[in-house]
Amino acid sequence: MKFNRSGGILLHPTSLPGPYGIGDLGPQAYRFVDWLASTGCKLWQTLPLGPTGYGDSPYQCFSAFAGNPYLISFDGLIEDGLLMQDDFADMPDFDASRVDFGLLIPWKLEILQKAFSRFQSASDELRAEFDEFCNNNTSWLDDFALFMSIKEANGGGAWNEWDVSLRNRKKSAMDKARRELSESILRYFFYQFIFFRQWDRLRAYANERDIRIIGDIPIFIAYDSADAWSNQKLFFLGEDSLPTVVAGVPPDYFSATGQLWGNPLYRWDEHQKTGYAWWLDRFRAVLKMVDVVRVDHFRGFAGYWEIPFGSPTAEHGQWIPGPGSDFFKTMNIGLVTASDAELPIIAEDLGVITPDVVALRDEFNLPGMRILQFGFSGADNPFLPHNYISNCVAYTGTHDNDTALGWLDTAPEEEREFALRYLRVDGSDFAWDLIHGIWSSVAVYAVTPMQDALSLGTEARMNFPSKLGGNWEWRMTDADLSDELAGKFRELNKLYLR
């Protein structure tokens, strides 16, 4: 696809304001789109939109294809006649500035159950829509709904803890589970139907206002997912169904023991035998939802760090070649429709980047990422704007970084001084100094997290990668989408031809 010079905001839907304890796909999402359109920005970037599990991370989902039911708009269900105002009589007293997942999840599922119960007597038109959705998505939906239903019946236990006949997908056991759990399976069908119905309408609304949505594909999937359970041949799993090797990154300047992610690793030879069919399905599914997709840990397609399962740290791993050029040639053939078009992919090329990663990215002309917050170690740092090329996406920071102001408060003194000298500023409006820095650059896309647009500190950080708990919780308020802030972006987009 052609990338045109544009600016945008990184904001996960969970961070939108609203009365129901979490941002959702309802009125506030449409208000955000309207506000974004008024700024002259043309990009809305989100994190992965899948169903989150333990730790509430959008990068560890129960499915690479399903949507997150916690994003379903209750206002939309009221419009459909599936919820009533009385259903919210016992709504918890939610904190408007944070998502309290422990408080939210049981309550939201209870309300969604009420909507599902009313759906049994829904209009013929809505039922026909539902049937069409189920028929069109059977390739992933059937396994996902069965997986979630069995998981629920097993107290939430991971699939390797299930009865061996279900773990190994024995036909008689699967048929029995489908019969006994038919109501639960139908409920999970319903949640997915409503999620995609609401998301598709929101995405169309954004596109009508000249806003493209940038989505996100994590290269690795969660072990406890419908994908690993239903495609066991595609992963390195042992006879006990547990992984034999797992993903991570080696020790570096930031971590003496590396990062042990624990995701199962792909048997790329098996994927190649199928013509990468699962991956083609995955990309097609996400590109039905978004306009451009950021591929997380792009370097894993060139080579990835393999760690023996059970290792306490990531230290004793080894580099293994990835599928490389063959993979993206197949994606190019399967996904690109016009002869002069290119893959609508942004390569997250951060971390340990070796020449083979750069060569793979450049072979397919994929824009990489430049994070200005990483740039203040010296004039030759590739993350400084004067070192950018046009075929890249510039960010002040990402969901994994501290906010700009948080960084300024904690950065080493020499980096802090270099940043102020480089930007020729005094630090009194530092977040916006960074925004000016990337907007004025040659980068084709310039994107800032909403937290930096609002000049917020560490308290608004979205994720601390090494911290357990307290992540993914930040929310903005109603007042944050101000005309004044829109005006600042409008001026910037006009000034720098974005």
Which CA distances in Å does 345 have to 192, 228, 351, 384, 490?
25, 24, 18, 23, 26
Nearest to 298 by CA among 341, 361, 348: 348
The SS3 of residue 33 is: helix
**Cα–Cα distance measured from residue 307 to residue 260, given in angstroms and rounded to the nearest whole number:** 8
Q: Output the CA torsion 439→445→450→453 (10° steps).
A: 10
The SS3 of residue 479 is: helix
**Cα–Cα distance measured from residue 334 to residue 284, given in angstroms and rounded to the nearest whole number:** 9
Beta-bridge partners for 98: 474
What number of residues does the chain have? 498
Biggest CA–CA distance in the chain, Å, is 70
Q: Output the CA torsion 426→432→433→434 (10° steps).
A: 130
pLDDT value at position 339? Answer: 57
Which CA distances in Å does 49 have to 12, 196, 228, 461?
9, 11, 18, 19
pLDDT value at position 426? Answer: 97
Task: Please tell me what DSSP assigns to residue 445.
Answer: E
Nearest to 28 by CA among 212, 198, 192: 198
Catalytic residue numbers read 296, 348, 400
> Do residues 166 and 240 make contact, with C-beta atoms less than 8 angstroms apart?
no
Burial, 309: exposed, middle or buried (Cβ in 10 Å; 0-12, 13-18, 19+)? middle
> Do residues 396 and 431 make contact, with C-beta atoms less than 8 angstroms apart?
yes
Q: Output the CA torsion 400→405→407→409 (10° steps).
A: -140
pLDDT value at position 255? Answer: 81
pLDDT value at position 306? Answer: 98
> Do residues 38 and 46 make contact, with C-beta atoms less than 8 angstroms apart?
no
**Cα–Cα distance measured from residue 132 to residue 196, given in angstroms and rounded to the nearest whole number:** 12
**Cα–Cα distance measured from residue 211 to residue 485, given in angstroms and rounded to the nearest whole number:** 18
pLDDT value at position 217? Answer: 97
**Cα–Cα distance measured from residue 338 to residue 340, given in angstroms and rounded to the nearest whole number:** 6
Which CA distances in Å does 339 have to 223, 282, 320, 335, 336?
37, 22, 33, 11, 8
The SS3 of residue 246 is: strand
Return the sign of the alpha-carbon dihedral for residues 117, 123, 129, 134. positive
Give the pairing type, strands 345-347 and 292-296: parallel
CB atoms within 10 A of CB 319: 13
pLDDT value at position 475? Answer: 99
Q: Which residue stretches of the chain have pLDDT < 50?
A: none
pLDDT value at position 252? Answer: 81
Give the pairing type, strands 259-264 and 43-45: unpaired
**Cα–Cα distance measured from residue 467 to residue 474, given in angstroms and rounded to the nearest whole number:** 15
Nearest to 53 by CA among 63, 41, 45, 65: 63
The SS3 of residue 73 is: coil
